Structure 1
């Protein structure tokens, strides 16, 4: 029995009264009162405080909390006299103790008691603040409960009427019989998820460091746990891109699970202190909000990989997902023994995910450092390759500069380790869009998906290769899998929109691109919505969106408007193509892009001229010439010859 049982009982009485009216706070309290683990108790006490302070920030300070630490918000609430000083004192006490208590060497379970006492004070004030009437009724019930002697309460409990007792007995017999029958036929679950409910999402872990410079570690830790889970073939794992959208959210677990189509949620907290790390994880059945498994780890950083492996295997067991011997071997692999190299790699992944030119450069510096510290660290080379691939595909560098560097990084990675899905994914992307080697690209995509069946981007980009090769039905199967694995990814939605363009489903493509922009308004691939609108017969919308997109480019806007006034959409495309052709003499603009504008304008000669230049330059986007933007070129022998040289099915 936990030494803080008395404190929890008081909180439990509050929980029963508020859980329906305040579901978000109720969810965290519900998790708190179920646990007898001191670290989990601290975690959920802190989360209760976060729910309350986040609300007060919006209601009293009139702004979103964002990622600001609790201490700063509490200080502002006190300074502006939005919250009584004795309440902010309790808030500070809870915040300080719940953080301090995560230091393994200094922690005393007795510290949970003052945390819970502070929480009780805060919640009572919060209820009075939110709903004075409900608070008054609640206090009456509590006073009545406390005034009644314990022996009287026990006697009242102990003398039910015979008819009531008989009815209860009959009801229980029927209920137990029903549960047994239903469980036999797998209609309901007795404490574990059934075999068909194996979609899992890993939410961002709470960092207890209160140090923004340590944010990368919790980000990388989640990615590494996901990587291990993804290697288990019988698990379906929601991508980090989608689950990371729920960082600092006030949504309930059930709502998060609904949006992600997940049946189980893994969440936790992490604190890194020098060479030590403390991690708490718990697996929750999202449909019933019940705990399936939880554990805390206190280890040296050198043991971090064994923690990842143990978490993955425990989750697989709870979700009835069997692990093969080969998968078990992969889960136990240690990518590097140099923790500084590993730390640099995690920083590199953190900055790479932002995909700006500056952040890609920072990511490259960290990947290079990881490589220098451990020349056999495969993931460092995969990181270097990923930076050059991003630069090439986003038009930040010419293919002639990027492709050889990608080749070298992948070669070194495969020399060190042939079991990393991301290395084969990089190889597939390079073979397909860097070398136009369709056979090599397909082989590498299949290998990446074999190693990691949950690699959403591998599925999505493989669908593009299949569409490039004219294998439409296969392509749609792979992109639909990617959407299930990463349902809230702006990138995957845009890639889906491009697949829909291949099959000429223009209205559906417009919808996909709009969803992509809703998720991330700056998504570059979603610019394809302009062409989708045009082919859907919504020419005016296409032009208006292009105007909005180029509102800060007066030269472009003038060409667009002049051309549209003279000859409609095709006239606008012609003027823009001429402008870009001229500008390409001084700045890098992809030849394929210019060729596409001419193709949309119906200027076949200029379109083919620029596509030929794109072929000579090895433009990475040239394989997309079988999309509808180029349909007007299909009957021209020059276009057919280009397709033959690319080994594309143009007919």
Structure 2
């Protein structure tokens, strides 16, 4: 026991002689500056939430590395030298630390302690970085007029769109927010399941010549707490400026830094014709329903909005989207749809070249109508720059990356889309197809089943289950899903499945093909052509399959791209000269 104090005294002398504490003081100050700089810069660069934590733990690891190096080496005017043992040191070499360095030693300890407390120990006060993800619930309609539900829906889309422009926030998309609003969950449950740091509860209190809103921001953890509430009453013509104002104020209240460009965009003054705005919101309301009848209603409202305000871009984009929908559903030939798509889309781009939504539509048209991969990617990236929180943008972009055989990037974008809108069956379907084509079959089929729970006969979901079952060798399930995709009735499916049990998979596919060929052309979905080509290929009709694919190229089919993703669905003809010629004409990289 008597030697212990002496041993500690000797160790302390060695720490001072080797200038360990001096090195630690310098390191602590530098680490603090680095961490503070990262907390300011990383959100602006759009780096993931965990990147700052990673820097913190690397700096903490650096403390131990610094101690080891300081103990073993001296930095002298002659360079780096290994520290001599005390017994080899002459008396005149044993210089003691000055009072200045002793002060620095104690300050370093305080700085390190403050660094750990500030970044690790939770505090009651909200600080920058505490809120990085936001759930904006649908607007409650307290106007007393149920016919204004379309207004509340439009306001919800607009506020999410404006908040989505803030790169330092992850904003949950509209469809998932709508679904969670209908569930019997409290705010902490919603936030926990969606990994949201805060929830926005908006209400529309009046809607006439003036618009009245109340906005509440609530943090759900560790307990539900309102951190801000704003009330607004503005003239109806200023509604777009109101969204900007609300977005800016929410960002300020939750201490999210805005880039200079975001500051500029949210400060922009936008004039609007209120009658045209109402008509446009009605058009969007019907467009979201995606039925032939609803599409026609949407077109009528978009055209009326254009008549009233011909200098406003969104209705032109709405008409372009109408023609995209008509083409996708096969309701009109390409000779009619394609010219109209470009006519209205080009006008929208001319009127508002800074709209994230218009750039997204332009990207989709470039890829699925024009086969213009360079323009498509440029437009997707521009839209993503303007609004990094648009789940559709990332889901669509992931599909374009599939065609270009950039599967790792496709997976990254699809995963991000799902994070932004996890309950949207449309996003689930798109991501399921991405996962399918990069070989993640089980994940693809799991998502497809989720989409089918919400939307029975979801076409992307059924496609993923059919192709996934085929790839995994579950041929009975593949047969059933294939028949369902073609809309075969119950009697036909009984025959098909009986053939499968007696004669096997290929015979069952031959039976499906015979039934499909007996269906009038106008009753077969446009999107069925690729599957018909696949049926011909699987049943030995290679020439018929290739002829169908060539015809699809001639009519600029929107789903021909999926044949050339590198997936093995068409592997039997992947080396055929006619197949390779189609791929080359589309400007796609080899399989």
TM-score, normalized by length of structure 2? 0.75
Q: Partner of 2:532 in structure 1?
A: 594
Q: Partner of 1:283 in structure 2?
A: 217
Q: 1:645 to 1:248 in 2, by over 3 A?
A: closer
Deviates more, 1:363-372 or 1:240-249: 240-249
Quick one: which of 395, 412, 416 aligns to 1:481?
416
Q: Cα distance, 1:602 vs. partner? A: 4.6
Deviates more, 1:269-278 or 1:540-549: 540-549
Q: Partner of 1:647 in structure 2?
A: 587
Q: Partner of 1:619 in structure 2?
A: 557
Q: 1:183 to 1:584 in 2, by over 3 A?
A: farther
What secondary structure, in the 3-state scheme, does the structure 1 residue paired with 2:204 have?
strand
Q: Partner of 2:338 in structure 1?
A: 403
Q: Partner of 2:510 in structure 1?
A: 574
What secondary structure, in the 3-state scheme, does the structure 1 residue paired with 2:504 have?
helix
> For 1:374-410, what per-residue CA distance to the aligned partner results, in whole angstroms no more than 9, with x for missing partners?
1111111111112222232233333332221111111
Quick one: which of 252, 255, 259 aligns to 2:189?
255
What secondary structure, in the 3-state scheme, does the structure 1 residue paired with 2:261 have?
helix
What secondary structure, in the 3-state scheme, does the structure 1 residue paired with 2:561 have?
helix
- 1:347 maps onto 2:285 in alignment: no
> For 1:272-305, what per-residue CA distance to the aligned partner results, in whole angstroms no more than 9, with x for missing partners?
3421221110111122311121111122212222
| 1-structure distance, mates of 2:540, 2:498 | 17
Q: Cα distance, 1:585 vs. partner? A: 4.1
Q: Cα distance, 1:613 vs. partner? A: 1.0
Q: Partner of 1:315 in structure 2?
A: 250
Deviates more, 1:319-328 or 1:575-584: 575-584
Q: 1:215 to 1:403 in 2, by over 3 A?
A: same
The 5 Å alignment of 1:412-491 reads 412-491=347-426
What secondary structure, in the 3-state scheme, does the structure 2 residue paired with 1:297 have?
strand
| 1-structure distance, mates of 2:578, 2:475 | 29
Tell whether the 8 Å contact from 2:462 to 2:481 is kept in structure 1 after alignment. Answer: no
Deviates more, 1:316-325 or 1:366-375: 316-325
Q: Partner of 1:492 in structure 2?
A: 427
Quick one: which of 190, 199, 202 aligns to 2:133?
199
- 1:557 maps onto 2:493 in alignment: yes
Tell whether the 8 Å contact from 1:600 to 1:629 is kept in structure 2 after alignment. Answer: no
Q: Partner of 1:124 in structure 2?
A: none
What secondary structure, in the 3-state scheme, does the structure 2 residue paired with 1:278 have?
strand
Q: Cα distance, 1:336 vs. partner? A: 4.6
Q: Cα distance, 1:350 vs. partner? A: 1.2
Q: 1:649 to 1:550 in 2, by over 3 A?
A: closer
What secondary structure, in the 3-state scheme, does the structure 2 residue paired with 1:185 have?
helix
Q: Partner of 1:270 in structure 2?
A: 204
Tell whether the 8 Å contact from 2:241 to 2:270 is kept in structure 1 after alignment. Answer: no
Tell whether the 8 Å contact from 2:128 to 2:256 is kept in structure 1 after alignment. Answer: no
Q: Could you list the runs of 5+ residues in structure 1 that have no partner in the other structure?
A: 1-178
- 1:381 maps onto 2:316 in alignment: yes
| 2-structure distance, mates of 1:479, 1:189 | 35
| 2-structure distance, mates of 1:382, 1:229 | 21
Q: 1:428 to 1:551 in 2, by over 3 A?
A: closer
Q: 1:258 to 1:476 in 2, by over 3 A?
A: same
For this pair of structures, how many residues does the alignment match?
473
> For 1:522-578, what per-residue CA distance to the aligned partner results, in whole angstroms no more than 9, with x for missing partners?
422111112211211222223344556677735753673475356433333333334
Q: 1:284 to 1:182 in 2, by over 3 A?
A: farther
Q: 1:508 to 1:341 in 2, by over 3 A?
A: same
Q: Partner of 2:466 in structure 1?
A: 530
What secondary structure, in the 3-state scheme, does the structure 2 residue paired with 1:625 have?
helix
Deviates more, 1:189-198 or 1:297-306: 189-198
Tell whether the 8 Å contact from 1:260 to 1:488 is kept in structure 2 after alignment. Answer: no
Tell whether the 8 Å contact from 2:287 to 2:298 is kept in structure 1 after alignment. Answer: yes
Q: Partner of 1:189 in structure 2?
A: 123
- 1:505 maps onto 2:445 in alignment: no
Q: Cα distance, 1:482 vs. partner? A: 0.8
The 5 Å alignment of 1:294-305 reads 294-305=229-240
Q: Cα distance, 1:186 vs. partner? A: 4.7
| 1-structure distance, mates of 2:521, 2:387 | 43
Q: Cα distance, 1:185 vs. partner? A: 3.0
Q: 1:206 to 1:366 in 2, by over 3 A?
A: same
Tell whether the 8 Å contact from 1:230 to 1:454 is kept in structure 2 after alignment. Answer: yes
Deviates more, 1:576-585 or 1:503-512: 576-585
Q: Could you list the runs of 5+ residues in structure 2 that have no partner in the other structure?
A: 1-112
Quick one: which of 152, 160, 164 aligns to 1:230?
164
| 2-structure distance, mates of 1:436, 1:608 | 19
What secondary structure, in the 3-state scheme, does the structure 2 residue paired with 1:214 have?
helix
Q: Partner of 2:150 in structure 1?
A: 216
Q: 1:596 to 1:193 in 2, by over 3 A?
A: farther
Q: Cα distance, 1:618 vs. partner? A: 1.1
What secondary structure, in the 3-state scheme, does the structure 1 residue paired with 2:200 have?
strand
TM-score, normalized by length of structure 1? 0.69
Tell whether the 8 Å contact from 1:581 to 1:594 is kept in structure 2 after alignment. Answer: no
The 5 Å alignment of 1:59-70 reads none
Q: Partner of 2:5 in structure 1?
A: none
Q: 1:556 to 1:191 in 2, by over 3 A?
A: farther
- 1:605 maps onto 2:526 in alignment: no
| 2-structure distance, mates of 1:555, 1:391 | 31
Q: 1:536 to 1:639 in 2, by over 3 A?
A: same
| 1-structure distance, mates of 2:556, 2:487 | 31
- 1:541 maps onto 2:484 in alignment: no
| 2-structure distance, mates of 1:309, 1:241 | 21
Tell whether the 8 Å contact from 1:200 to 1:236 is kept in structure 2 after alignment. Answer: yes
For the aligned residue pairs, the C-alpha RMSD in angstroms reads: 2.4
Tell whether the 8 Å contact from 1:228 to 1:312 is kept in structure 2 after alignment. Answer: yes
